[in-house]
C-alpha cells in the first residue's frame, strides 16, 4: 500500500507518459480517497517513520539474536574446550596408569623369561636336555650323529643356590620356594660328608685321564701330565707341558 | 535572582561532578600506571608463580640387548615413599576424604602391608625424625616401590604421604652377561657397557610448562612442551642363551676344580663375541654381593703369562716365514742349554724323534727353542703385533689392559727363548682368543667386536667404528697350523677331548703364575687353559677356557672336559653338522731308515 502511494507521487511529478503504465496504481489509490493527490500541492511530507520502523525492529532483533548466538556459541565452545581439558587430563591419567600396568607386566615377563627361571622351572618339571640333531648324508643312507654327551651334567640349582644367580628371581614366589626347598634338603652342617656331586666328578675325571694315558703310552709327557700329582709332590720347575 | 541562583547551583553541581569524575579518573590512572608500569614485573612474576607450573620430563635410559633382542638391562619406574613427619595425623571423616577414622597407626599398618615393612619400624623412623627435628617435612620411609605398590599406596589417599618417581635400572637376566653389562651407581654408570656406552644409553630430560587452573588442570593453550629424548639402545653381539650355558659350565668346572676363578670366551671367527663367562660373577641387580675383584671382566683386565697355548703363534710365525716345515725331522731331548740359557720340558723324556708338527702337538719347550734358532726377533715382534698382542682390543672395555709388547731383541737371552713358549710375555685372555680368531679366519686378524650397534630414539643405527682387519699369516699357514693342532685333540692322550665326527683344533696350556711382586713363579699357582678353533674344515668358532689355581686337577687335563663341553654346547645350539672332510694326518714322529 505504501508503495502504491510513492508510485502515485512519482506519476504526478513526471507527467503523463507513464500514465498508462501506472493505471493499476491509479486505480488502487482511487480506492483510498484519504491519500488522493491534490493537484495544487506539489510537496508534502512522506510518511517515512511508519515506513522504516518495521525493518529496524527486525534488524535489531536479528542483531541481538546474532549477538546472543555468538555469546552462547562462545560460551558453549569454552565449556567444550574446558570439558576437553578435563577429559584430556583424565585420559592422560588413565594412559599413565595403563603404561604402569604394562610396565609391571613386562617386568614380570622379562624375569620369567630369564634363562635362570627357564632352567630351574625345567629342572623342577623333570625335563632333560634334548638329543642333539642327527644329520642325513645325501650320498649314503646313514645318518651322521651329532655330538656326544656333555661331561658335566649338573642341575642349574644346588644347595649353594644358582650357579648363575639372578636376584630378581627372589621376587618370584615359585622359584623362591624351589630354591629354599633345595637348600633345606641338604642343609650343610659342620663335618658333613660332601654329596657325590662335589667330590666324585673330580675323581672320575682323573680316572678318565689315567685310562687315556694308559691307552697312549707313546706320548709319555702327556701321560705324566695326566696323572694327578700326589699331595706333597713338588711340581716341576719348568713351564708348560 | 532566583533564576540566577538556580543557574549558579547548577553550575556548581556540574563543576562538582566534573571534579569528582576527574578525581576518580586520576585515581584509576595512577592505579593503572602503578600496576602496569611501576610494579608490573613483580606482579607478573607472582601471577606466573601462582598459575605457571614447570615439570621436568624424564627420558628413559636405553636398554642393553643381546643379538636376539633379549633384554639384559632396562630402566623401570620405581617410587620412593616419603612422608611429612610434622603433619602425620589421624584422618577424620568429613575433614578428609575417608569414610571412617584412620589413625596414623592404622595407616602405617596398611603401608607396611604393601611395602613389606614392619609398621613398628616405620613408626620408629617417624619418631626418630621428629626427635631430631620437630618441624621436619621430609622422611623417606621406603624406596623402590613398583607400579602395583605405588597404586596401592596412592589409593590409600593419605594426605601426608608423597610418592616420588625414581626410575631404576633392572637386569632381568641377572648375572647372565653381568660382567659385561656392568651396573649403575645411584646416578652414574660404574662398570662395563653401562659405563663405556653411556653416551648412547643416557637420556636427555625435557620440560613441560603450563598455566594451571585453581584445581590444577592445565589451562588449554598454555602448555609448552619440550619433549624428553629417550636414550638409545645398545645391541651386543653376544647370545644370551649361549652366554648362560657357558657361564653355567664355567661356574660348575670352577667349583669342581676348586679353582680361584674361571674365564671362558666364545668368539665367532669374524671377531664377534658370542659369550664371555666369568666365575665368580656379578649379578648387576645386587653388585655389592660380589667381591670387588669379581665385578669386572677378567677376560679383559687380567693379563697373565699364557704358557703353552702361546706356542701356536710362534710356531705359525716360523712356518709362515718358511723357517720350518711340518714334517721337518728333529731329535728332541728334554733339556736344552747353551750360551748361559737353560730350558727344560715339563717332564723328562728320552730323546724323541719328533717332526716339527710333533713338537707343537707334544708341546715341547726344548723343541720350540730348537726350531726357533733361525727366527729373527724383529720379525717375531711384527707377527705378535699383527696378531693383536700389545694393544687393547677394539672393544675398549672399561679397565682393559693393553700389555705393551717389549722389544724382543733387547731382552736377555733366557727370556728371548722363553717367549717362544709363552713365558716372559703377558697377554689378556681376550688378546689370546682374538689371536686364535686370526688362525680360524684364514690368517686374517679382525678386530674384536662386542657391540653390534647403538639404535637411538629415532631408530637410527650407529655401528661402532672398527679398524680394518690385517693379514697376519698366509691362508696356507693358518690351515696347516690348525691341521697340526687337530692332532692335539685326537693324539694328546685325553679321551675326554675329541667329539666324534667333528674336526677340532686346540692347544692346551699349563701356565705358571708369577708372584705379584715379580720375584718369580708361585709353585702353588697354575693357570690351566685350552684354546681352540672348530670345525677345522670351515672354522666358525673360537673357544678359550681357563681356570686359575685348580686344586683337584692341576694340569691342563682339568680344563679339557670343560673345553669339550663348550664345543659340544655350541654344536648343539647352532646345529653344526659333522665334518665332511677326513681328519688331518700329519706325521708327528719319524723313524730313521735302517741301514
Record the cell numbers describing residue A180, joined without a space: 629354599
Instruction: Please list every residue in chain B whose beta carbon sits closer than 8 Å to the beta carbon of residue A129.
Output: 572
Q: How confident is the model at residue B594 (pLDDT cuts 50, 70, 90)?
A: low
Average pLDDT over residues B281-296: 88
3-state secondary structure of B213: coil
Q: How far is residue B252 from each of residues B240, B259, B547, B561, measured CA to CA in Å?
A: 18, 10, 11, 11
A164, A238, A240: residue with CB nearest B175: A164
In chain B, what are the domains?
A: 78-84+108-132+139-166 (no CATH), 240-574 (3.40.710.10)
Residue A211 lies in a domain: no
Domain membership of residue A203 (yes or no) is no
In this complex, do B572 and A147 lie within 8 Å of one another by their Cβ atoms? yes
pLDDT at A207 over 50: no
Q: Chain A contacts of B362, Cβ < 8 Å?
A: 219, 221-222
What's the first-to-final CA gap in chain A, in angstroms?
A: 134
Mean pLDDT across chain B, nearest whole number?
88
DSSP string, B47-77: HHHHHEEEEEEPPPPPPEE-TT--EEEEEE-
Would residue A141 count as lying in a domain? no
Find the angle CA(A64)-CA(A69)-CA(A73) to the nearest 5 degrees. Answer: 150
Q: Name the pLDDT band for B494 (thresholds 50, 70, 90).
A: confident
Residue B395 has pLDDT above 50, yes or no: yes
Whose cell is 536479528? That residue is: A62
Are residues A14 and A71 located together in one domain of the fold?
A: no
Helix/strand/coil for A144: strand
SS3 B93: strand
Cβ–Cβ < 8 Å for B236, B193:
yes
Q: Hey, is the C-beta of B455 within 8 angstroms of any chain A C-beta?
A: no
CB contact at 8 A, B502 and B534 = yes
Lowest mean pLDDT among B12-21, B29-38, B405-414: B405-414
Q: How close does chain B come to A129, measured CA to CA in Å?
A: 10
Per-residue pLDDT of A130-158, as tens digits, reads 778 888 877 777 777 777 878 877 777 77
pLDDT in tens, A46-71: 666 655 555 678 888 999 999 999 99
- B584 vs B478, which has greater pLDDT? B478
Q: Do B173 and A116 touch (CB under 8 A)?
A: yes
Question: What is the secondary structure of A12-48 as a DSSP string?
Answer: HHH-STTTTTTHHHHHHHHH-GGGPPPTT-------H
B229 strand-pairing partners: B204
ipTM for this prediction = 0.76
- B216-223's contacts with Cβ under 8 Å and 24+ in sequence apart are B217/A85, B217/A86, B217/A89, B218/A85, B218/A89, B218/B53, B219/A85, B219/B51, B220/A81, B220/A82, B220/A84, B220/A85
Angstroms from A213 CA to nearest CA on chain B: 5
| Containing structural domain, residue A42 | 1-46
| CB pair distance less than 8 Å for B554 and A111 | no
* β-strands B541-548, B261-268 pairing: antiparallel
Give A213's pLDDT tier (boundaries 50, 70, 90): very low
Find the residue in A nearest to B177 (Cα).
Answer: A164
CA–CA dist A81, A83 (Å, integer): 5
- On the 0-12 / 13-18 / 19+ scale of CB atoms within 10 A, A3 is exposed
Gap between the Cα atoms of A113 and B65, Å rounded: 14
What's the pLDDT tens digit per position in B96-135?
Answer: 777 788 888 888 998 998 888 888 999 999 999 999 988 8
DSSP state of A167: G
DSSP tag of B212: B
Instruction: Please indicate whether, in this complex, the C-beta atoms of B575 and A151 are within 8 angstroms of each other.
Output: no
Question: What is the bridge-based pairing of β-strands B161-165 and B139-145?
Answer: unpaired
- State the Cα–Cα distance between residues A2 and A28, nearest whole angstrom: 11
Mean pLDDT of chain A: 66
Is residue A51 within 8 Å of A5, Cβ to Cβ?
no
Contacts of B175 in chain A (CB under 8 A): 164-166
Cβ-based neighbours of B465, under 8 Å, separated by 6 or more: none
Point out the residue among A145, A163, A219 whose CB comes nearest to the CB of B252: A163
Domain match, A53 and A42 both: no
Q: Is the model's pLDDT at A239 over the cut of 70?
A: no
Three-state SS at A89:
helix
**A34 shares its domain with A18:** yes
Distances from the Cα of B230 to the Cαs of A98, B102, B209, in angstroms?
20, 42, 19
**CA separation (Å) from B118 to B104, B106, B131, B539?**
14, 12, 20, 60
pLDDT in tens, B341-369: 888 888 888 999 999 999 999 999 999 99
Mind listing the pLDDT tens digit for each residue in B39-67?
888 888 777 766 777 878 888 899 999 99
**Model confidence at B259: pLDDT above 50:** yes
Most confident of A41-45, A111-115, B75-79, B543-547: B543-547
- Which residue of B lies nearest to A99 if distances are taken between CA atoms? B147
Instruction: Dig out the grid coordinates for B95 from the structure.
Output: 575433614
β-strand pairing of B233-236 with B64-65: parallel
**pLDDT at position A7:** 44
Count CA atoms closer than 13 A to B289's CA, side-chain side: 13
Residue of A nearest to B242 (CA): A115
Number of other CB atoms surrounding residue A14 within 10 Å: 11
Query: From the list B283, B363, B571, which residue is nearest A165 (CB)?
Result: B283
Q: What is the DSSP letter of B218?
A: B
Listed by number, the residues of chain B in 222-251 with a beta carbon closer than 8 Å to a beta carbon of chain A are: 240-241, 244-245, 247-249, 251
Run of H or E residues at A183? helix A173-185
Is the bond leading into B535 cis (omega within 30 degrees of zero)? yes
A40 lies in the same domain as A24:
yes
Contact A85 B217 (CB under 8 A): yes
Tell me the mean pLDDT in the region A21-35. Answer: 48
pLDDT on residue A240: 39
* A153-176 residue pLDDT tens: 777 777 667 888 888 887 766 667
pLDDT of res. B443: 93
pLDDT value for B359: 92
Residue-wise DSSP of B575-594: TPPPP-SPPP----B--PPP
Judged by CB atoms closer than 8 Å, whether chains meet at B362 and A82 is answered as: no
Whether residues A15 and A81 share a domain: the answer is: no
Q: Report CB contact under 8 Å: A116, B244.
A: yes
**Whole-Å CA distances, A224 to A211, A219, B532, B534:** 12, 9, 23, 27
3-state secondary structure B487-534: HHHHHCCCCCCCCCCCCCEEEEEEEEEECCCCCCEEEEEEEEEEEEEE
Within a 10 A sphere around the Cβ of B570, how many other Cβ atoms?
Answer: 23
Chain B residue closest in CA terms to A80: B220
The answer on pLDDT for A95 being more than 80 is: yes
C-alpha cell at A164: 648363575
User: Chain centroid to CA B331: how far?
Assistant: 49
Q: Residue holding cell 670352577?
A: B254
Predicted pLDDT of residue B368: 92
The distance of A110 to chain B (nearest Cα, Å) reads 6
Which chain A positions have a beta carbon within 8 Å of B565's beta carbon? Answer: 150-152
CA atoms within 13 A of residue A85's CA, in its CB half-sphere: 18
Beta strands in B212-356 (DSSP E): 224-226, 233-236, 261-268, 273-279, 329-332, 335-338, 341-344, 352-355
Contacts 24+ apart (CB under 8 A), A99-105: A100/B77, A100/B147, A100/B150, A100/B151, A101/B147, A103/B76, A103/B77, A103/B147, A104/B146, A104/B147, A104/B148
Q: Would residue A202 count as lying in a domain?
A: no
Q: At what angle do helices B104-115 and B147-156 cross, to 10 degrees?
A: 170
Residue A3 has pLDDT above 50, yes or no: no
Asked whether residue A58 falls in the same domain as residue A100, the answer is yes
Q: Which residues of B touch A201 (CB under 8 A)?
A: 256
Nearest by CB to B173, which of A115, A132, A145?
Answer: A115
- For B189, the 3-state DSSP assignment is strand
Q: Which residue has the cell 546472543?
A: A68
The residue among A46, A63, A83 that closes a domain is A46
Q: Is the pLDDT of residue B563 over 70?
A: yes
- B170 close to A (CB below 8 A): yes
Number of domains chain A is built from? 3
Domain presence at residue A206: no
Is cis: bond before B146, omega within 30 of 0? no
| Domain identity same for A67 and A102 | yes
From chain A, the residues in CB contact with B535 under 8 A are none
- Runs of H (alpha helix) within B54-146: 104-115, 119-132
Instruction: Note whether residue A132 is domain-resident.
Output: no
Distance from CA of A207 to the nearest CA of B (A): 11
Contact B347 A225 (CB under 8 A): yes
* Strand, coil or helix: B137: coil
What pLDDT is stored for residue B595 in this prediction? 55
Per-residue model confidence (pLDDT) at position B2 = 61
| Backbone angles phi and psi of B437, in degrees to 5 | -60, -40
Tell me, yes or no, whether A42 and A55 share the same domain. no
Check whether residue A100 and residue A55 sit in a common domain: yes
> How far apart are the C-alpha atoms of B395 and B401, rounded to whole Å?
11
Chain B residues within an 8 Å CB radius of A93:
none
The set of cell numbers assigned to A114 is 630369564
Verify that A118 and A177 share a domain, yes or no. yes
Clarify whether residues A35 and A98 are in a common domain.
no
Which candidate from A100, A133, A216 shows the least CB-CB separation from B575? A133
State how far residue A148 is from chain B, nearest Cα, in angstroms.
6
Element (H, E) at B39: none
Q: Is residue A82 part of a domain?
A: yes
Which of B150, B252, B555 is the closest to A241 by Cβ?
A: B555
Over residues B511-536, the pLDDT tens digits come to 888 887 777 788 888 899 999 998 99
- Position A51 scores a pLDDT of 54
Asked if residue A90 is part of any domain, the answer here is yes
Q: Which residues of B touch A114 (CB under 8 A)?
A: 172-174, 176
Cis amide prior to B332 (ω within 30 degrees): no
Using the predicted structure, report yes or no on whether residue B403 has a pLDDT greater than 50. Answer: yes
- Does A239 sit within 8 Å of B307, measured CB to CB? yes
Cα–Cα distance measured from residue A233 to residue B555, given in angstroms and rounded to the nearest whole number: 13
Q: Sorting pLDDT into bands at 50, 70 and 90, what band is A121?
A: confident
Does residue A19 sit in the same domain as residue A54?
A: no
Q: What is the DSSP pairing of strand A135-136 with strand A143-144?
A: antiparallel
- How many residues are present in chain A? 241
Contacts of B70 in chain A (CB under 8 A): 113
Contacts of B293 (CB under 8 A, 6+ apart): none
Instruction: List B162's β-bridge partners, or say none.
Output: B82
pLDDT at B479 over 70: yes
Burial, B412: exposed, middle or buried (Cβ in 10 Å; 0-12, 13-18, 19+)?
Answer: exposed
* pLDDT at residue B340, as a whole number: 83
First to last CA, chain B: 174
Record the cell numbers describing residue A7, joined without a space.
508510485
Are the C-beta atoms of residues B504 and B530 closer than 8 Å to each other?
A: no
Chain A: residue whose CA lies nearest to B253? A152
- CA-nearest residue to A86 within chain B is B217
Contacts of B304 in chain A (CB under 8 A): none
Amino acid at each position: 500500500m505504501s508503495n502504491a502511494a510513492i508510485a502515485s507521487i512519482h506519476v504526478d511529478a513526471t507527467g503523463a507518459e507513464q500514465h498508462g503504465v501506472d493505471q493499476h496504481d491509479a486505480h488502487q489509490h482511487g480506492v483510498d480517497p484519504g491519500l488522493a493527490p491534490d493537484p495544487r500541492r506539489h510537496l508534502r511530507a512522506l510518511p517515512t517513520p511508519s515506513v522504516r520502523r518495521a525493518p529496524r525492529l527486525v534488524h535489531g532483533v536479528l542483531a541481538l539474536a546474532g549477538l546472543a548466538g555468538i555469546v552462547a556459541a562462545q560460551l558453549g565452545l569454552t565449556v567444550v574446550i574446558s570439558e576437553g581439558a578435563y577429559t584430556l587430563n583424565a585420559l592422560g591419567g588413565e594412559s599413565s596408569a595403563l603404561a604402569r600396568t604394562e610396565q609391571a607386566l613386562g617386568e614380570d615377563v622379562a624375569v620369567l623369561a630369564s634363562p635362570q627361571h627357564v632352567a630351574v622351572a625345567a629342572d623342577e618339571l623333570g625335563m632333560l636336555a634334548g638329543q642333539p640333531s642327527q644329520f642325513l648324508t645325501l650320498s649314503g643312507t646313514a645318518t651322521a650323529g651329532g655330538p656326544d654327551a656333555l661331561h658335566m651334567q649338573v642341575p642349574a640349582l644346588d644347595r649353594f643356590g644358582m650357579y648363575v644367580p639372578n636376584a630378581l628371581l627372589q621376587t618370584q614366589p615359585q622359584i623362591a620356594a624351589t630354591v629354599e626347598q633345595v637348600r633345606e634338603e641338604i642343609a650343610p652342617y659342620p663335618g658333613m660328608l660332601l654329596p657325590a656331586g662335589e667330590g666324585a666328578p673330580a675323581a672320575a675325571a682323573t680316572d678318565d685321564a689315567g685310562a687315556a694315558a694308559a691307552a697312549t703310552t707313546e706320548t709319555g709327557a702327556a701321560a705324566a701330565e695326566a696323572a694327578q700329582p700326589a699331595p706333597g709332590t713338588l711340581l716341576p720347575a719348568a713351564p708348560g707341558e | 535572582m532566583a533564576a540566577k541562583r538556580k543557574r549558579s547551583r547548577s553550575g556548581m553541581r556540574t563543576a562538582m561532578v566534573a571534579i569528582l569524575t576527574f578525581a576518580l579518573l586520576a585515581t584509576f590512572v595512577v592505579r593503572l600506571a602503578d600496576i602496569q608500569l611501576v610494579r608490573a614485573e613483580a606482579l607478573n612474576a607472582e601471577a606466573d608463580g601462582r598459575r605457571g607450573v614447570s615439570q621436568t620430563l624424564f627420558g628413559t635410559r636405553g636398554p642393553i640387548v643381546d643379538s636376539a633382542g633379549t633384554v639384559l638391562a632396562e630402566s623401570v619406574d620405581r617410587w620412593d615413599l616419603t612422608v611429612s613427619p610434622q603433619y602425620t595425623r589421624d584422618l577424620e571423616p568429613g575433614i578428609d576424604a575417608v569414610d571412617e577414622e584412620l589413625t596414623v597407626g592404622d595407616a602405617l599398618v596398611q603401608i607396611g602391608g604393601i611395602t613389606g615393612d614392619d609398621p613398628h619400624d616405620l613408626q620408629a623412623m617417624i619418631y626418630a625424625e621428629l626427635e631430631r627435628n620437630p618441624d621436619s617435612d621430609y622422611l623417606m620411609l621406603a624406596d623402590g616401590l613398583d607400579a602395583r605398590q605405588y597404586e596401592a599406596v596412592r589409593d590409600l589417599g593419605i594426605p601426608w604421604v608423597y610418592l616420588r618417581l625414581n626410575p631404576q635400572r633392572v637386569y632381568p637376566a641377572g648375572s647372565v652377561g653381568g660382567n659385561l653389562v656392568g651396573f649403575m651407581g645411584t646416578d652414574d654408570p660404574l662398570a662395563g657397557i653401562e659405563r663405556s656406552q653411556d653416551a648412547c644409553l643416557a637420556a636427555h630430560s625435557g620440560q613441560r610448562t603450563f598455566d594451571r587452573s585453581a584445581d590444577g588442570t592445565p589451562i588449554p593453550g598454555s602448555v609448552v612442551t619440550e619433549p624428553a629424548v629417550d636414550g638409545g639402545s645398545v645391541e651386543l653381539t653376544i647370545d644370551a642363551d649361549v652366554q648362560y650355558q657357558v657361564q653355567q659350565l664355567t661356574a660348575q668346572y670352577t667349583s669342581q676344580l676348586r679353582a680361584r676363578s674361571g674365564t671362558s670366551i666364545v668368539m665367532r671367527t669374524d671377531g664377534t663375541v658370542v659369550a664371555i663367562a666369568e666365575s665368580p660373577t656379578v649379578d648387576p641387580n645386587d653388585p655389592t654381593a660380589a667381591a670387588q675383584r669379581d665385578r669386572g671382566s677378567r677376560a679383559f683386565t687380567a693379563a697373565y703369562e699364557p704358557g703353552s697355548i702361546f706356542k701356536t703363534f710362534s710356531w705359525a710365525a716360523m712356518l709362515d716365514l718358511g723357517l720350518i716345515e711340518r714334517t721337518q725331522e728333529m731329535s728332541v731331548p728334554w733339556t736344552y742349554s747353551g750360551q748361559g740359557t737353560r730350558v727344560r720340558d715339563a717332564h723328562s723324556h728320552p730323546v724323541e724323534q719328533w717332526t716339527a708338527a710333533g713338537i707343537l702337538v707334544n708341546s715341547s719347550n726344548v723343541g720350540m727353542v730348537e726350531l726357533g734358532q733361525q727366527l729373527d726377533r724383529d720379525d717375531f715382534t711384527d707377527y705378535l703385533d699383527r696378531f693383536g698382542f700389545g694393544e687393547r682390543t677394539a672393544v675398549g672395555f672399561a679397565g682393559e689392559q693393553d700389555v705393551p709388547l717389549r722389544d724382543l731383541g733387547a731382552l736377555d737371552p733366557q727370556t728371548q727363548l722363553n717367549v717362544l713358549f709363552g713365558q716372559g710375555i703377558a697377554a689378556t685372555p681376550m688378546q689370546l682368543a682374538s689371536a686364535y680368531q686370526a688362525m680360524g679366519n684364514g690368517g686374517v686378524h679382525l678386530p674384536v667386536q662386542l657391540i653390534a650397534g647403538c639404535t637411538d630414539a629415532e631408530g637410527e643405527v650407529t655401528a661402532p667404528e672398527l679398524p680394518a682387519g690385517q693379514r697376519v699369516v698366509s691362508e696356507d699357514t693358518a690351515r696347516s697350523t690348525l691341521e697340526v693342532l687337530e692332532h692335539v685333540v685326537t693324539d694328546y692322550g685325553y679321551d675326554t677331548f675329541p667329539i666324534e665326527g667333528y674336526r677340532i683344533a686346540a692347544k692346551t696350556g699349563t701356565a705358571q703364575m708369577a708372584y705379584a711382586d715379580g720375584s718369580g713363579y708361585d709353585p702353588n699357582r697354575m693357570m690351566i687353559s685350552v684354546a681352540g678353533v672348530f670345525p677345522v674344515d670351515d672354522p666358525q668358532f673360537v673357544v678359550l677356557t681357563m681356570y686359575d689355581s685348580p686344586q683337584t686337577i692341576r694340569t691342563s687335563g682339568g680344563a679339557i672336559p670343560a673345553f669339550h663341553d663348550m664345543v659340544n654346547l655350541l654344536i648343539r645350539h647352532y646345529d653344526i653338522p659333522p665334518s665332511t672332510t677326513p681328519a688331518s694326518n700329519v706325521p708327528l714322529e719319524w723313524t730313521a731308515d735302517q741301514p
